[in-house]
């Protein structure tokens, strides 16, 4: 019989498997580009550049996200219940107390950010505080603390940066092909046909790689939500609290005004109402798993 612990363990394994495949994908793309252009330094430079971008983003992403969301710091005097719930959860789990912020928006939502548990923050919307009762709010806050505990901020930051890196490298490759063509001495490698194959594959990869990278990043985001749901249920010992919160959050028909597509994956629920191309493609371009599936998984944990 599945328990919260088995859900958590399965999601951890799946997430790190996807992350490993992501890094392999990065190496494969840069390797093909380096062979197509006959320049091995593209592979080495690309991997080093990706690592540097990750380190920079890891140290600064929390400040950027808080500013982009329009969140404002709050204190215990004005939001006593919120502080009390978070304090109780951190004491029970041994986590340090995160900084707390509020976003003045009627849409119920929340997110966590920070490079590690010692430098973390949780932001909730005013709409969330208005619509949820204590057990539901506790479920949401446990979910966000689980993101902090599981180092999801690190994983999501790496994924977002690598997607951007793939897009940049692919664009540079296509621009080089457009303006300069393939000027390599194909005979120098001893196999002109092999070089031509890499050239064609490189162009195809430059077009498709950014799309594939985005799909991988979205898959990672969805897995982290399942994991945070399971971990949050373990914290509160009451999966129904989070399940009921997700029902109320999903029933709100408006969008979060301050949200952006760059940060949408951080929120407990998608802050947008997908439409058009993204809606037609369904789960492939979803930043979050379907609410119905998350609620069912939580209900199964409570049985």
Let me know: does 125 contact 103? Beta carbons within 8 Å: yes
Within 85-234, strands assigned E span 99-103, 110-114, 120-125
**Dihedral Cα 48, 213, 11, 56, nearest 10 deg:** 40
Contacts of residues 175-183 at CB distance under 8 Å and 24 or more positions apart, as own/partner, are 176/37, 177/202, 177/203, 177/206, 182/36, 182/37
Give the separation between CA 124 and CA 76, rounded to whole angstroms. 14
Give the separation between CA 103 and CA 119, rounded to whole angstroms. 19
- The yes-or-no answer on residue 274 being catalytic is no
Give the separation between CA 152 and CA 115, rounded to whole angstroms. 9
Give the separation between CA 250 and CA 269, rounded to whole angstroms. 8
Which one is catalytic: 8, 136, 138, 144?
144
Active-site residue numbers?
Answer: 144
């Amino acid at each position: 019989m599945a328990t919260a612990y088995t859900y958590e363990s399965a999601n951890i394994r799946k997430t790190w498997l996807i992350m490993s495949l992501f890094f392999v994908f990065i190496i494969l793309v840069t390797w093909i580009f380096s062979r197509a252009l006959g320049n091995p330094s593209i592979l080495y430079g690309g991997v080093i550049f990706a690592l540097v971008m990750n380190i920079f983003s890891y140290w600064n992403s929390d400040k950027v996200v808080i500013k982009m969301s329009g969140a404002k710091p709050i204190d215990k005097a004005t939001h006593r219940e919120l502080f009390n719930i978070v304090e109780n959860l951190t004491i029970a789990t041994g986590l340090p107390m995160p900084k707390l912020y509020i976003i003045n928006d009627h849409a119920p939502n929340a997110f966590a950010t920070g490079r590690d548990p010692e430098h973390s923050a949780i932001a909730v919307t005013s709409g969330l505080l208005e619509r949820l009762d204590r057990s539901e709010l506790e479920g949401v806050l446990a979910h966000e603390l689980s993101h902090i505990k599981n180092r999801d901020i690190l994983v999501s930051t790496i994924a977002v940066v690598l997607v951007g890196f793939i897009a940049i490298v692919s664009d540079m490759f296509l621009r080089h092909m457009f303006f300069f063509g393939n000027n390599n001495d194909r005979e120098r490698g001893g196999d002109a046909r092999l070089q031509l194959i890499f050239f064609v594959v490189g162009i195809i990869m430059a077009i498709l790689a950014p799309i594939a990278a985005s799909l991988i990043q979205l898959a990672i985001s969805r897995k982290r939500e399942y994991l945070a749901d399971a971990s949050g249920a373990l914290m509160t010992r009451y999966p129904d609290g989070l399940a009921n919160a997700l029902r109320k959050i999903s029933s709100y028909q408006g969008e979060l005004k301050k949200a952006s597509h760059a940060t949408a994956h951080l929120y407990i629920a998608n802050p947008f109402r997908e439409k058009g191309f993204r809606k037609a493609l369904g789960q492939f371009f979803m930043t979050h798993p379907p609410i119905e599936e998350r609620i069912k998984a939580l209900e199964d944990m409570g049985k």
